[in-house]
Homo-oligomer: A and B are copies of this chain.
Amino acid sequence: MTTVLKLGGSVITEKETPETVDDAALQRASAALGGSSGRLAVVHGGGSFGHHYAASHGVSTTAGTRDDVAIREIHGAMKRLNAAVIDALVETGVPAVPVHPFSGAYRRSDGTLRFPEGAVATTLEEGFVPVLHGDVVAHATEGATILSGDELVVALAEALSADRVGVCSAVSGVYDADGEVIAHIDSFDDVAAAVGASDETDVTGGMAGKVRTLLSLDAPASVFGVDGLGAFLDGDDPGTRIG
């Protein structure tokens, strides 16, 4: 059983304050992860670490940079957040090890992401918990562009043939038009009106894009808040199950 888990940047950082970890939320998430079993790969977003530098350098998932300073600043900030996440996980007994996407992933000139998964797969097989993150990646003909945590989760889940995907978010799930969490989404048409209108958007594309992408996965995915993380790791379906 291989699980890929996203810890949203908005969950584990104070989004309004540059480079500030939300220690309480990170500790709650780490406590839940400390009790989990099976093969687990973790991806975290950028929150107040990566986005600030990406914005200040004008770099996005499609707008590239040829400035090596931009790469070092964005990547450096994400490594500092990654170190904080790993420290918190280690405290709860998770054998966490860092995996930095810039060192292995890249985009072709058409924007297609390539993520050679051998190192992560071997790390998992050997009993460790790789902890990856949104990052900047080399992009043929564009210099370097952003790889969002959401895009990475999907790429990783596909590359590892994950059995389950969890997205631990700042919200409790995908909301319907009345503000209630939708238990199960089978097709985007069912929820297009509701998620299109949601205010609870993720910085790297919003809930609509997240739902659409998670529906495309072979594995079932769940979107839930940090309150639901323990239940998800126990095999339950907290929040919204997608697919």
Residues of A within 8 A of B (CB): 66, 68, 71-72, 75, 79, 86, 90, 95-107, 114, 116, 118-119, 122-123, 125-128, 137-144
Contact, CB under 8 Å: A106 / B118: yes
Q: Is the CB of B126 within 8 A of A66?
A: yes
How many angstroms between the C-alpha atoms of A144 and B119 in the bound complex?
11
Q: Once the chains bind, are B100 and A72 in contact (CB under 8 Å)?
A: no
CB distance from A13 to the nearest CB of B (A): 21
Q: Could you tell me if A100 and B97 are in contact, using CB atoms closer than 8 angstroms?
A: no
A177 to B167, alpha carbons, bound, how many Å? 64
Q: Judge whether B68 and A96 touch: CB under 8 Å.
A: yes
- The dominant DSSP class at the A interface is mixed
Contact status B122-A140, CB under 8 Å? yes
Say whether, besides A71-B128, A99-B103, A100-B103, A118 and B119 are in contact (CB < 8 Å): no
The answer to whether B116 touches A140 (Cβ under 8 A) is no
- Select one of B75, B119, B139 contacting A104, CB under 8 A: B119
Question: Within the assembled complex, what's the spacing in Å between the Cα atoms of A140 and B143?
Answer: 34
How far, in Å, is A243 (CB) from chain B's closest CB? 29
Residue of B nearest to A140 (CB): B122
The residues of B that contact A125 with a CB separation of less than 8 Å are 138, 140
In the complex, the 7 A-B pairs of residues with the closest C-beta atoms, listed nearest first:
A104-B104, A116-B116, A103-B103, A68-B95, A122-B138, A106-B122, A123-B138
